[in-house]
Structure 1
Amino acid sequence: MFKDVEAVEVVDELISTAQKAQQIYAGFSQKQVDHLVAVVSQKLGEQAEKLAIQAHEETGFGNVKDKIIKNTFASEHVYNSIKDIPTVGEIKRDDINQIIEIGIPMGIVVGLIPSTNPTSTVIFKALLALKSRNAIIFSPHPKALKAIMMTVEMIEKAIVAEGAPAGLIQVIKKPTLEATQYLMQHDKAALILATGGGAMVKAAYQSGTPAIGVGQGNAPTYIEKTANVKEAVAAIIESKTFDYGTICASEQSLVVDKEICKDVIKALEDKKAYFLSAEEAQKVGGIIMLENGGMNPAIVGKPAVFVAKLSGIEVPEDTSVLIAKQTNIGKEYPFSREKLTPVLGFYTVETWEEGMTTCNALLANEGAGHTAILHTQSDERVFDYGLQITASRVLINTLGALGAIGFTTKLAPSLTLGCGAIGGSSTTDNVSVLNLLNIKRIAYGV
């Protein structure tokens, strides 16, 4: 089935090494595990800037300042959220119902790593794997290979120096499609953590190995008539320009009540957003997607001014975001789709019901089950939005990009965001350490 003999041999060797290391690591105590996780948090936090520079230089996506924040988020915020969770032996006891839960490692985890958030995602997944006493083998996106390898080597070196068996954290050094497919289908692989393009996530679910994959984001952001417009717009601009839009939960389209439309437009323009004319929107829309329907990688993680120039239009040099007024939603309308760059669609609605319908239509078009945002001062609207919207994360009065991952909210800090069954995912969770544990239950008879 697999014709690339070298790729098969390499993966088999990685699996063999990981299996031996994990069998030893499975015998580590909670204290030993927690020490290793703390070491990785500290050592990789110290290297946040170095890794950010490497990722930016190699991929050209985003900017160093925000990538440092993402690396720090992964090494510190994720660590703080999992450090006190018991994962070894008895992890929970229910004396009333007489049930004891025991944490069991899964074995070998396969981690698919995207080019948009390469170093931070490696740190995140490595911390989860180590905390749950699993080994992990990373399949890197070729565009970010050096940055991913650098991160893996730092983690492996740090834990081996502290007594961990070598081989817990590994990476395919010559990534190919066949090597990744063989790794995902390997009978010794216990779980796939898939973060990346839709095709790769789908392949993970079709591999025959249990998988947790995340779908595309296309977060609609509804600015409802009771919203604090200035605060809402400030959050949207900060979020959409963070690392130039590379986080998939960032805002993709604005849905605005007609009553406050003029105020919203003024507030956006005050924040240096540029509203495209119909002719300019046609030019920008023409470069958002490729002929095959995929997103144009040339615009991913690039500033608004770069995207404008690429499309052949001129905008002020301090432009923060490009915005196109829209009425249509569909695969053939690029502004209604996911855009991992500072570009937004803008929809005006007459009523709350129309606003809800528009948000759900955007999610159905692309991004079902992922994330939606609402800016409002009405608790009634909050509950209604949360009840009706087809998203797993419903964010209120905060940044889409940072709220969804648990930076500006109390959601579990995570860089793998489940989209539920509606989005083709096996969970709606912000994936964390318990997703990488098998839990055995001892139950007394009643």
Structure 2
Amino acid sequence: MQATESAIRTVVEEVLAELGKTPKQVNGTAPHFKPTADPGGIRVVSSGAVAGQSSSPAIEAAPNSGDWGVFQSVDAAVTAADAAFQQLSKSTVENRDIVVNIVKTMCEQRAEEWGRKEFEETKIGRLDHKIAKLKIIKQVPGTEWLKPNCFSGDHGISLEEQAPFGVIGAITPVTHSLPTLAGNIVNMVAAGNSIIFNPHPSGAKIACEGVQAFNKAIFEKTGIQNLITIIGTPTIESANEIFHHRKVRMLCVTGGPAVGRAALGAKKRAVVAGPGNPPVVVDETADLDNAAKSIVAGAAFDNNLLCIGEKEVFAVQSIFDRLLEAVSKNGGFLLNSSQVDALTKLAFSPPKEAGGHPVLNRDFIGKDAAYLAQQIGVSVPANTEILFGETDTTNPFVPEEQMMPFIPFVRARDTMHAIELAYEFEHGFGHTAIIHSRNVHAMTVMGRLMNTTLFVKNGPSMAGLGLGGEGYLSFSVATPTGEGVTNPGTFTRTRRCVMVDELRVV
């Protein structure tokens, strides 16, 4: 586990992205973003311009050109993004690389500043992890991911390449506002697209600031204006307008179930990152110290805001008590039954209607373990990463996708019982599941049954996104639509170019 822990920290302590909530008004009014910079005079560059070259004198910005990509009108933002796409299409792959490097470099260099601003604006998660999520944007794949296919035979040669869609409409969550936006830019622009973002209102200010900074640097290096656009005052209505705008060719939604369903109803290609309730199975063959460290690392990351984060643990009876002890030694604080009951009553309200879901107390989302403990009159050590306690399956913390650092532990009779419980309470979302075991057969049975997009064995959940495990990073994990961990290829369409009876050299 030391190697895993070291790898995670080297890669910037841990990571990734949960899917946020449906864009909506906050306290009845959407937050208004006040632009922080005046674009002043900007250049008009010929369609064939490359980095640093301009063929026209500087002119004043057009009235609808926005403030370095920040717009209040969806139509104006889409029009600007479409114009930028036309420029990018006539440009070079080298310019796509320039954009990718700008975003990655700025996220790393300004991680502390932007992480702090996002933390102050959203008021959820952990500051150190907000910073970490920006630093690891450098691991999101770029143009190197795009590979052509070629077919040669008696009748000539055919070349298939990954071509862009055009303007992509993207929804970003409050849980990872700027990291999701930045990761999407890397993937989408590497694929040759431009983007219009509708951020979650509670994370709109930092998202807009990031877009402005990126656009200024992109324009300076490539001459392309408004490659990234964003709605400064986002609402449900602006999201819906983006979904149905005729010039938006593709959608990418990282958010709650409602906004995902809305995107799928827009009658265009949609990549949707849906909800998750990742279960953890621990059997009698597991390395309990490794399992404990992994559970704490994954559940504690950004106070369990990640969609892939460990949400409930099903452990077999024979090792259950020893696992609890191991978690206590690795940053977990064990609550007794009365304390668990007290926290549950504060964290959830009864369903509003018969057969409905318990209502999550949103004031608890993304708060520190110490804050949760304080609400029930408990004082915890300074190094406490998570709270945890034994429950049964009727406790709302088990079936509900809560996003706070309290993890319910449920006793199972044996490995198969634990796997069956994991399957039941993952709810068929197909998102993420985790097992700690040395029994390959148990891993195989669980993997086939769960059929999740991410299936992590003997490590923290972040290992499923290349953080302490192999693979690559993305902040959009498309489960309902099947694309999985998104990459530049996700945002392309395949085009085939055919030469008949010519061009072969053999």
TM over 0.5: yes
Counterpart for residue 139 of structure 2: 77
The amino acid of 1:119's aligned partner reads L
Q: Which moved more, 1:385-394 or 1:17-26?
A: 385-394
Counterpart for residue 458 of structure 2: 397
Task: Give secondary structure in 2 for the equivalent of 1:251.
Answer: coil
Counterpart for residue 277 of structure 2: 218
Counterpart for residue 93 of structure 1: 150
Once the two structures are superposed, the pairs formed by residues 25-44 of structure 1 within 5 Å of their partners are 25-44=88-107
Structure number having the greater helix percentage: 1
Shift of the 32–357 alpha-carbon distance from structure 1 to 2, 3 Å rule, reads same
The amino acid of 1:391's aligned partner reads T
Task: Give secondary structure in 1 for the equivalent of 2:312.
Answer: strand
Counterpart for residue 400 of structure 2: 337
The amino acid of 1:426's aligned partner reads T
Counterpart for residue 351 of structure 1: 414
- Tell me if the contact between 2:388 and 2:406 (Cα under 8 Å) persists in the aligned partners: yes
Counterpart for residue 313 of structure 1: 377
Deviation at 1:219, TM superposition (A): 0.6
Whether 1:66 and 2:125 are equivalent positions in the alignment is: no
Whether 1:50 and 2:110 are equivalent positions in the alignment is: no
Deviation at 1:9, TM superposition (A): 7.9
Deviation at 1:410, TM superposition (A): 2.0
- Tell me if the contact between 2:72 and 2:231 (Cα under 8 Å) persists in the aligned partners: no
The amino acid of 1:416's aligned partner reads S
- Tell me if the contact between 1:156 and 1:166 (Cα under 8 Å) persists in the aligned partners: yes
Question: CA–CA distance in 2 between the matches of 1:287 and 1:362?
Answer: 22
Question: CA–CA distance in 2 between the matches of 1:140 and 1:63?
Answer: 20
Counterpart for residue 232 of structure 1: 291
Whether 1:412 and 2:472 are equivalent positions in the alignment is: yes
The amino acid of 1:241's aligned partner reads A
Question: CA–CA distance in 1 between the matches of 2:483 and 2:263?
Answer: 17
Question: CA–CA distance in 1 between the matches of 2:311 and 2:73?
Answer: 40
Q: Which moved more, 1:248-257 or 1:197-206?
A: 197-206
Question: CA–CA distance in 2 between the matches of 1:96 and 1:390?
Answer: 39
Deviation at 1:340, TM superposition (A): 1.2
Counterpart for residue 4 of structure 1: none
Whether 1:182 and 2:241 are equivalent positions in the alignment is: yes
Could you tell me which of 402, 406, 430 is aligned with 1:369? 430
Whether 1:441 and 2:496 are equivalent positions in the alignment is: yes
The amino acid of 1:440's aligned partner reads R
- Tell me if the contact between 2:78 and 2:229 (Cα under 8 Å) persists in the aligned partners: no
Could you tell me which of 481, 486, 489 is aligned with 1:431? 486
Shift of the 327–94 alpha-carbon distance from structure 1 to 2, 3 Å rule, reads farther
Question: CA–CA distance in 2 between the matches of 1:77 and 1:351?
Answer: 39
Deviation at 1:207, TM superposition (A): 2.4
Shift of the 316–40 alpha-carbon distance from structure 1 to 2, 3 Å rule, reads closer
Once the two structures are superposed, the pairs formed by residues 237-248 of structure 1 within 5 Å of their partners are 237-248=296-307
Q: If the length of structure 1 is used for normalisation, what is the TM-score? A: 0.89
Q: If the length of structure 2 is used for normalisation, what is the TM-score? A: 0.79
- Tell me if the contact between 2:271 and 2:483 (Cα under 8 Å) persists in the aligned partners: no
Counterpart for residue 127 of structure 1: 186
- Tell me if the contact between 1:106 and 1:437 (Cα under 8 Å) persists in the aligned partners: yes
Task: Give secondary structure in 2 for the equivalent of 1:324.
Answer: strand
Whether 1:326 and 2:391 are equivalent positions in the alignment is: yes
Deviation at 1:444, TM superposition (A): 7.5
Question: CA–CA distance in 1 between the matches of 2:169 and 2:345?
Answer: 37
- Tell me if the contact between 1:44 and 1:155 (Cα under 8 Å) persists in the aligned partners: no
Question: CA–CA distance in 2 between the matches of 1:164 and 1:289?
Answer: 52
Shift of the 299–106 alpha-carbon distance from structure 1 to 2, 3 Å rule, reads same
Deviation at 1:107, TM superposition (A): 0.7
Question: CA–CA distance in 2 between the matches of 1:359 and 1:372?
Answer: 8
Question: CA–CA distance in 2 between the matches of 1:396 and 1:377?
Answer: 9
Could you tell me which of 304, 322, 329 is aligned with 1:270? 329
Deviation at 1:300, TM superposition (A): 1.5
Larger Rg over CA atoms:
2
The amino acid of 1:343's aligned partner reads F
Question: CA–CA distance in 2 between the matches of 1:37 and 1:277?
Answer: 49
Task: Give secondary structure in 2 for the equivalent of 1:335.
Answer: coil
Task: Give secondary structure in 2 for the equivalent of 1:241.
Answer: helix
The amino acid of 2:232's aligned partner reads K
- Tell me if the contact between 1:73 and 1:407 (Cα under 8 Å) persists in the aligned partners: no
Deviation at 1:35, TM superposition (A): 2.4
Whether 1:383 and 2:451 are equivalent positions in the alignment is: no
Task: Give secondary structure in 2 for the equivalent of 1:344.
Answer: strand
Deviation at 1:445, TM superposition (A): 8.2
Counterpart for residue 13 of structure 2: none
Q: CA RMSD in A?
A: 2.2
Q: Deviations over 1:27-56 (max 9, x none)?
A: 222222222222222223211111101100
Task: Give secondary structure in 2 for the equivalent of 1:347.
Answer: strand
Counterpart for residue 5 of structure 1: none
The amino acid of 1:432's aligned partner reads N
- Tell me if the contact between 2:72 and 2:232 (Cα under 8 Å) persists in the aligned partners: no
Question: CA–CA distance in 2 between the matches of 1:439 and 1:302?
Answer: 44
Q: Deviations over 1:231-290 (max 9, x none)?
A: 110111112111111111110001111111121011112224233333322221123335
Shift of the 234–189 alpha-carbon distance from structure 1 to 2, 3 Å rule, reads same
Question: CA–CA distance in 1 between the matches of 2:72 and 2:94?
Answer: 36
Shift of the 22–264 alpha-carbon distance from structure 1 to 2, 3 Å rule, reads same
Q: What percentage of residue pairs aligned between the two structures are identical?
A: 21
Question: CA–CA distance in 1 between the matches of 2:489 and 2:312?
Answer: 33
- Tell me if the contact between 2:296 and 2:331 (Cα under 8 Å) persists in the aligned partners: no
Question: CA–CA distance in 1 between the matches of 2:422 and 2:498?
Answer: 45
Whether 1:281 and 2:340 are equivalent positions in the alignment is: yes
- Tell me if the contact between 2:303 and 2:404 (Cα under 8 Å) persists in the aligned partners: yes
Question: CA–CA distance in 1 between the matches of 2:73 and 2:119?
Answer: 28
